[in-house]
Amino acid sequence: MAAPTFTSLIPATSPVEADPLVAGLEWRHPPTVERPYTIANFVCSVDGRAAFNGRSGAFSDEGDRALFHALRERADAVLAGTTTLRMERYGRVIPDPERRARRLAAGRPAEPLAVTISRSGVVPLEAPLFGEPEARVLIFAAHAPDLSGVAASVAVEPLRGDGPATLRAAMATLHRDHGIDTLLCEGGPTVFGALVRAGLIDELFLTLSPRLTGGDSGPAITAGRPLSELQPLAIRGLLSRGDSLYLRYAVTN
Ligand SMILES: NC(=O)c1ccc[n+]([C@@H]2O[C@H](COP(=O)([O-])OP(=O)(O)OC[C@H]3O[C@@H](n4cnc5c(N)ncnc54)[C@H](OP(=O)(O)O)[C@@H]3O)[C@@H](O)[C@H]2O)c1
């Protein structure tokens, strides 16, 4: 099947495909920052909801999926909250053998490290990801889960305390001890909200799906305590395809 083509409105260029576009993006890695460069990727309805009937799939389309997989191919690690792992039934991070081969040819692990975080230690080990022998998973948890019967290679890092300092320490561990330079955060809203509050997000990719959910059908893309001041964003890219818009924002300091 041919790769979907986008119209690039910002910057205004000729039509683009997701893989070459994402492969050519420059991530800004401030050399003094002791954490991964962190990109979030979400899809939401025009009324700002991140889920409908408990899942995000109804908002997605071919363009969103193309960007989703292109971003995963570039990432060193992919972070998702435990509820997202369970509700979205996470499987292996890069299912496409061609993408895995491209990463191996570039001297990188075949797949990004899958990362999750939990205070309770209740991790959805029934998600297909944990049954995948080739998957590498890192769990930050205050209480280590019982990993018997899990096929994936799973490591556990202790999570001490709560709040922004704990998250900053976890991100430093990812960078320093696990060699993660680029982290892709796929949500959910609770994890993303906590990372935003801790000042740990550098960019946001957001697919605006041409749909309304009506009412209070699910969370916004951030959840938890609101910020004390608004967080400004700067637009870095805008693609369109059909009725969908695909935004790229930098989080400005
Ligand atoms: N539209 C999209 O792009 C998109 C993307 C992802 C998810 N979603 C949707 O969002 C929903 C799930 O999101 P959610 O916000 O409910 O859950 P979530 O963020 O996926 O996971 C929440 C859990 O992660 C752990 N956690 C979160 N913040 C933490 C922190 N600061 N420190 C330690 N652990 C932390 C907690 O586990 P413990 O309770 O064990 O501490 C918490 O219960 C689903 O409906 C999913 O479909 C949509």
Nearest protein Cα to ligand 1, atom 27: 191
Nearest protein Cα to ligand 1, atom 28: 191
Percentage of the chain surpassing pLDDT 90?
92
Q: Which of 224, 232, 177 is nearest to 201 (CA)?
A: 232
> What is the CA(28)–ligand 1 centre distance, in A?
26
How, if at all, do strands 5-10 and 233-241 pair?
Answer: antiparallel
> What is the CA(200)–ligand 1 centre distance, in A?
16
The residues of the chain scoring below 70 in pLDDT are none
Angle, CA 95 vertex, CA 89 and CA 98 arms, to 5°: 165
For residue 218, give the ligand 1 atom closest to its CA. 45
Pocket test for ligand 1, best of 84, 225, 244, 246 (most atoms within 8 A of CB): 84
> What is the CA(190)–ligand 1 centre distance, in A?
5
pLDDT value at residue 216? 85
| pTM for this model (two decimals) | 0.97
Please report how many Cα atoms fall inside a 13 Å half-sphere around the Cα of residue 119, on the Cβ side. 8
Strand order in the sheet with 244-251: 16-17, 5-10, 233-241, 244-251, 203-209, 37-45, 182-185, 77-79, 113-118, 136-141, 153-158
Q: Is the CB of 211 under 6 A from ligand 1?
A: no
- Give yes or no for a contact between 174 and 180, defined as CB atoms under 8 angstroms apart: yes
pLDDT value at residue 190? 98
- Start-to-end Cα distance in the chain: 41
- Give yes or no for a contact between 78 and 42, defined as CB atoms under 8 angstroms apart: no
> What is the CA(188)–ligand 1 centre distance, in A?
4
Q: Is the CB of 118 under 6 A from ligand 1?
A: yes
Q: Is the CB of 186 under 6 A from ligand 1?
A: yes
What type of residue is 253? N
**pLDDT tens digit sequence for 75-94:** 999 999 999 999 999 999 99
How, if at all, do strands 136-141 and 153-158 pair?
Answer: parallel
- Give yes or no for a contact between 219 and 43, defined as CB atoms under 8 angstroms apart: no
pLDDT value at residue 221? 97
